[in-house]
Amino acid sequence: MLKKLYIKDFAIVDHLEIDFESGFQVLTGETGAGKSILVGALRLLCGERGQSDLVRSGSDKAILEAEFKFPIDSKKRSILEELAVELISDVIIVRREINIKGISRAFINDTPVNMNAIGTITELLIDLHGQHQHQRLIHPENHISYLDAFGKIQPILEKYKSAYKEYHSQKNLLEGLIEKRKKSYETHDLYTFQVNELTKANLKEEELELLISERKILENNEALFEVSSKVATLLYSAEDSASRIISEAINKLKSLTEIDPSFIELIKNLESAQVSVEETGRHCESYGSNLEFNADRLEEIRSRESELAWLLKKYQVSNLPALITRLEEMKKNLDEIENFDEKIDKLEKKLEEIRKKLQEISLVLSEKRQELGKNFEKELELLLISVGLQNASFKVQHSWQEKEGGIVSVNGKTYELSENGMDQIEFNVGLNVGEPTRPLHKVASGGEVSRIMLCIKTLLADSDDIATLVFDEIDSGISGRLAQIVGKKMLEIAKHHQLIVITHLPQIAAQGDSHFSVAKNEVEGRTIVSVEKLKADERILDIAKLLGGEQVTPQAIANARELLHVNIDLPPDHKIEKNMKI
């Protein structure tokens, strides 16, 4: 339930904090006292957009906060976890801040969230009913939700929605595949040519680097032979080669080792150097003798290099590995193109299976709604009589929308489906004897719609999961005996919900478990709104005001006591003489 409402610097509200209780909560006050401001604050806390002109003059920002307290079920918990909102026992605190620049911030349990998140969570917590909206009752597209709530058919409805989602998911996949096949036909020949071209090229990842290395050797054959031969002579084969000179040096140093052993280490270094010099000399000698210039091979390499360079440029890649990857991709695309028909055929068969399943569920759901409609009509007509609509007749108009190529096929005709099923539900009402039923929004006045809506809420009281209902003067157009009857109906709803009712009718105000008075006062040259929870004697005076207008008479006091079923004395300062104004 709504535990607390906090408002600061909003419209003409300076600072306001209201502690609500469970059951039937009533708010009364003169026209213009600020009751609509409270409802406006609740609407903003439910995600409605806010403007900078809502900030109280002279303030930087308006602050609105609502504290809800109730067990957190799995659905609410899942939403809160998805929003990364920390759970605080069984409390959800929704907060809005709007500054003078029109910038709005929203929080749930002190976690910043966007407006959509606020709306998502509050629609599970509180239901607002305005005198001009009648909780969407006048809009036929909303009627199906009332019927479903009455029948408690959520399990089968969830099963239908799951199948509906799966069907459209597979349908979108199929349509995408068909479109892809259509486009692929245009590239089939191109892919085939390119795959053949690259396959024929017999690409190898390191081939180009090897070819370049071999070409350099062939192009520089003479220089390689000349240098390698000269180095072999200098290091190894000549009479005065480096190897012979080192060998002579080693022999001379060995004669000194008997005199000074320190030369032993130097001899080892020279011996090691001699080995390296001889190995290098022999390699150069062998390399030069094996060099062979092959003009045909050089031309072959140059031709292959040109071929590969052209392919790299054509396919706009920088190296052979990337070109080989492109070839594999085109092979895969070509394989997909050649197997589109098979894939599409399999997907079409799967989609038809899902469609049959969806059709079966939708027909079961429709049959269930037709049965529910009859019971809904009977029970609602009895309630309509109880609120003074004795001649009212009520019908649940049930229809299917025929559409060529629709998902559901019945007796040779096809019908469209929506996320709620194949049913079109509309409430029709007749309010006079002998008159046929017609669409509710075309027949009923504001007061009649209010009573019909109240009866529906009474009917749904034990199946509606929303804990808090707010009625903002939905009793407009109702008076006298009917007002008392409507008040009793509200009491029935309050057995299952916290009910917060803003009313101008004493007969309804008297039914409340708690009574709050909304007033507008001038304090230090500024107008402010105040809300006061009334005690028993204060309720008598407030109800008397509603009964008697500006003048509160002893008779109005007596009538107020009768409505409240109380017999207490008013405090001395509240004594009222006949025709005395208050």
pLDDT digits (tens, 9 = 90+) for 335-377: 777 777 888 899 999 999 999 999 999 999 999 999 999 999 9
Same domain, 58 and 121: yes
Domain limits for position 547:
535-582
pLDDT tens, position by position, 128-177: 876 555 546 777 888 998 899 888 888 899 999 999 999 999 999 999 88
Both tokens of 65, joined, read 């906060």
Does 484 fall in a domain? yes
Please say if the pLDDT value at position 96 is more than 70: yes
Q: Which helix (H) or strand (E) holds 518?
A: strand 514-523
Does 368 fall in a domain? no
Same domain, 23 and 8: yes
pLDDT tens, position by position, 478-520: 667 778 888 888 888 888 889 999 988 898 999 999 999 999 9
Please, which residues have CB within 8 angstroms of residue 530's CB and are 6 or more apart in sequence? 16, 518, 519, 520, 521
Does 579 fall in a domain? yes
Same domain, 74 and 51: yes
Average pLDDT for residues 106-120, to the nearest whole number?
A: 87
The pLDDT of residue 578: 41
Same domain, 21 and 84: yes
Average pLDDT for residues 238-242, to the nearest whole number?
A: 88
The pLDDT of residue 26: 94
Both tokens of 264, joined, read 């032993």
Regarding beta strands 91-99 and 61-69, do their DSSP bridges make them parallel or antiparallel, or are they unpaired?
Answer: antiparallel
Does 455 fall in a domain? no
Please say if the pLDDT value at position 579 is more than 50: no
Q: What angle do CA 7, 9, 15 make, to 5 degrees?
A: 50
Same domain, 14 and 88: yes
- Is 143 in contact with 323 (CB distance < 8 Å)? no
Regarding beta strands 13-19 and 526-533, do their DSSP bridges make them parallel or antiparallel, or are they unpaired?
Answer: unpaired
Does 67 fall in a domain? yes
Question: Of the candidates 57, 118, 59, which has an alpha carbon nearest to the alpha carbon of residue 85?
Answer: 118
Same domain, 512 and 562: no
pLDDT tens, position by position, 518-556: 999 888 888 889 999 999 889 998 998 888 766 788 888
Does 80 fall in a domain? yes
Beta bridge partners of residue 92, listed in sequence order: 68
- Per-residue confidence at 472, pLDDT binned at 50, 70, 90? confident
Average pLDDT for residues 392-399, to the nearest whole number?
A: 92
The pLDDT of residue 581: 40
Overall domain count for the chain: 2
Beta bridge partners of residue 18, listed in sequence order: 5
The pLDDT of residue 321: 92
Same domain, 479 and 551: no
The pLDDT of residue 167: 94
Same domain, 23 and 115: yes
Of 501, 516, 534, the residue at which a domain comes to its end is 534
Please give the share of the chain, as a percent, with pLDDT higher than 70. Answer: 93
DSSP structure string for 528-568: EEEEEE--HHHHHHHHHHHHHTTB--HHHHHHHHHHHT---
Chain-centre distance of CA 314, in angstroms?
46
Same domain, 25 and 114: yes
Does 44 fall in a domain? yes
Q: What is the mean pLDDT of the chain?
A: 86
Tell me if residue 493 falls in helix, strand or coil. Answer: helix
pLDDT tens, position by position, 177-236: 888 887 777 777 788 888 899 999 999 999 999 999 989 989 898 899 999 999 999 998
Question: Of the candidates 479, 424, 472, which has an alpha carbon nearest to the alpha carbon of residue 447?
Answer: 479
Beta bridge partners of residue 24, listed in sequence order: 499
Average pLDDT for residues 63-77, to the nearest whole number?
A: 84
- Is 104 in contact with 61 (CB distance < 8 Å)? no
Return the exposure string of 205-214: e unless at least 16 CB atoms fall within 10 Å of the residue's CB, then b.
eeebeebeee
Torsion of CA 497, 498, 504, 510, to 10 degrees: 90
Average pLDDT for residues 4-21, to the nearest whole number?
A: 93
Question: Of the candidates 194, 183, 556, which has an alpha carbon nearest to the alpha carbon of residue 337?
Answer: 183
Please give the share of the chain, as a percent, with pLDDT higher than 90. Answer: 42
User: 29-33, 126-130, 274-278: which has the highest mean pLDDT?
Assistant: 274-278
Question: Of the candidates 435, 434, 453, 436, which has an alpha carbon nearest to the alpha carbon of residue 445?
Answer: 453
Rounded-to-integer distance, Cα 521 and Cα 542, Å: 16
Rounded-to-integer distance, Cα 405 and Cα 416, Å: 8
Does 79 fall in a domain? yes
DSSP structure string for 56-79: PTT-SEEEEEEEEES---HHHHHH
The pLDDT of residue 571: 58
**For residue 3, what is the domain's CATH number?**
3.40.50.300
Rounded-to-integer distance, Cα 522 and Cα 530, Å: 10
- Per-residue confidence at 477, pLDDT binned at 50, 70, 90? low
Please say if the pLDDT value at position 64 is more than 70: yes
Rounded-to-integer distance, Cα 147 and Cα 153, Å: 9
Q: Which helix (H) or strand (E) holds 147?
A: helix 143-151
* pTM exceeds 0.85 for this model: no
Same domain, 478 and 564: no
Chain-centre distance of CA 8, in angstroms?
30
- Per-residue confidence at 424, pLDDT binned at 50, 70, 90? very high
Same domain, 477 and 571: no
Beta bridge partners of residue 41, listed in sequence order: none
Same domain, 479 and 517: yes
Question: Of the candidates 368, 426, 371, which has an alpha carbon nearest to the alpha carbon of residue 401?
Answer: 426
